[in-house]
Amino acid sequence: MMSLFAQVPVSTPEIQWFYLAPILILALGGVLLITLTSVAPVMRGRHISALFTVATGVLALAFLPFIAARLDGLVDPVAGQGGRPAVDLVSSALVVDHFTLWVSGLISVAVILVAVMLDGYLEREGFESPEWYALLLISASGGVILASAEDLIVTFLGLEILSIAVYVLAALHLRRSESQEAGFKYFILGALSSAIFLYGIAMVYGATGSTTLTGVAGSMTGRNAAGLSPAVDSSLVMVGIALMLIGFGFKVSAFPLHIWTPDVYQGSPTPIVGFMTSAVKVAAFGGMMRVFLVGFGGTFASDWRVLVLFMAGFTILFGSFLAIVQTNIKRTMAFSSIAHAGFMLVGLYAAASPVAIGDTGKRAVLFYLLAYTFMSIGTFAVISIVGKKGDGNHSIEAYRGLAKREPLLAMAFTVLLFGQVGAPFTAGFFAKFRVIAAAAQVERTEAYILAGVAMLGAAVGAYLYLRVVVAMFLDVQESPSTEMADSADETLALVEVRALEVPPATLAVVLLAAVVTLVLGIFPDIGSGALAEAALALVR
């Protein structure tokens, strides 16, 4: 009888909680916020939830230097990490390295800035809803998981945690039917892309017998359970790569998987669009780089990089040319975001090259993500202000005369727009220059063509940004004027058009983004050590 109750040892993975701090802080912060505001209604105030979210983001950000210091102090780095320090967690399902820290830092910064922007937005729109902030934190935790996943199943989980919260956020402005429409479209198409991505994982597992990135990469030199060599009998692997590229392409708004972007950006609450263009895009590119450069960066790199080449070229051209015919600023910036994704894909194409050129490509993409995070959040902070109550004042004509009404806001917006143009002395200039230079270093005919397409896209895209700048520095149309108004109602309407409520916190976000855009444009090598470590962490 006693043998029935004999203790059987159970093998459990060792979890080093310290290295999981950013994920735990963001995820538990979201859960704690919604719990506290449920049991203590006094905490449902707008500013309290915003301050809690900012504090959570700051805490997650504050842990990163300590994690980096501990990583650098490791005596025996994980084998296969290109000699760079890294720690495998939860039975190698997650890895913490400098690449993880770089992406986690950008996501944490995005959470902080968007939470500040969201506070003024919700106050103007009349919402007292902590769930906005809780979903923001939970989505951010999914983004960190996505960027640190070493297993394709965990990659999928991170992608879903990141996405599902954003689907809800897109539809959370309950007084605008456009918001519910945007959320519904985003959810339906996102669910389809997730299913395709998961099917791609199944194909890769069927071919290699593994879902870990190191296992997938290592299987290329052996045989799977069916006795087939994935490197030779590559049909399943190639189908899996193509399907996974479709899933990631949807998240980063790459052609031809971009179709949801203009409608969703136009209908979603403006601060949430800022989160989509920053944290969501950073996380998606982080996961994409880790999966393709680590899992498929050897035998199949020459195959999938051709797909990325065509995707990058068409994404840049499509986004740039369609942006110039838009009259709604949010749709304009949606197509602009598509074009920026194309530039980042140019860097990813270069990153799949041999080590020296590949390292240049990785650094270019990571710097682009840094620059675009600040430029996009600052841009949508301005759009949120000009959108006014109801979040519907988004015609480009609404910016006419903005420099006269709000000169500081207009000047900061001009810096941000010039940054997206790629003007000298802005972060955007070095972001675009580095990805184009990395592509040119590949020294192949198709790479030169891609670099030329990128330069053409940058030139075409300049028109759409300069159009907004010109509108801002033109005077408001004089007719009808307050003197010529036929009624008091007409005069009041004109005053409302001229008046603009600028929340100080949101203005601070705009100014900070503009300052960072200039500083990175004048001193582009700031943080180059961390950037280099993050890029080298992906070398296997």
Q: What is the dihedral sign for C-alpha 277, 278, 283, 289?
A: positive
Exposure of 191 by Cβ count < 10 A (0-12 exposed, 13-18 middle, 19+ buried)?
middle
Higher pLDDT: 64 or 354? It is 64
Encode pLDDT of 306-345 as tens digits. Answer: 888 899 999 999 888 888 888 888 888 999 999 999 999 9
Per residue in 157-187, is it b (16+ CB within 10 Å) or e — as a string?
bbbbbbbbbbbbbbbbbeebeebebbbebbb
What is the rounded distance in angstroms from the CA atom of residue 137 to the CA atom of residue 142? 9
Higher pLDDT: 106 or 91? It is 106
| Closest to 417 (Cα-Cα) out of 384, 370, 464 | 464
The arithmetic mean of pLDDT across residues 180-199, rounded, is 89
pTM of the model: 0.88
CA distances from 407 to 157, 411, 436 (A): 45, 6, 34
How is residue 102 written in tokens?
Answer: 């770089």
Encode pLDDT of 425-438 as tens digits. Answer: 899 899 999 998 88
What is the rounded distance in angstroms from the CA atom of residue 431 to the CA atom of residue 438? 11
CB-facing half-sphere around the CA of 467: CA atoms within 13 A: 18
| Closest to 540 (Cα-Cα) out of 78, 224, 69 | 78
Domain boundaries, the chain: 15-536
* Model pLDDT, residue 228: 56
Give Cα 207 distance to the centre of its chain: 31
* Model pLDDT, residue 480: 43
Q: What is the dihedral sign for C-alpha 111, 329, 284, 186?
A: positive
Asked whether the bond before 256 is cis by omega within 30 degrees of 0, the reply is yes
Higher pLDDT: 83 or 343? It is 343
pLDDT band, residue 74 (cuts 50/70/90): low
* Model pLDDT, residue 232: 60
* Model pLDDT, residue 499: 62
DSSP string, 292-348: IIIISSSTTHHHHHHHHHHHHHHHHHHHHHHHTT--BHHHHHHHHHHHHHHHHHHHH
- Amino acid letter, residue 204: V
* Model pLDDT, residue 368: 93
Q: Which of 93-97, 453-457, 487-491, 520-524 has the lowest mean pLDDT?
A: 487-491
Higher pLDDT: 14 or 198? It is 198
Q: Which residues contact 161 (CB under 8 A, 6 or more apart)?
A: 138, 139, 141, 142, 145, 146
Encode pLDDT of 294-315 as tens digits. Answer: 888 777 777 788 888 899 999 9
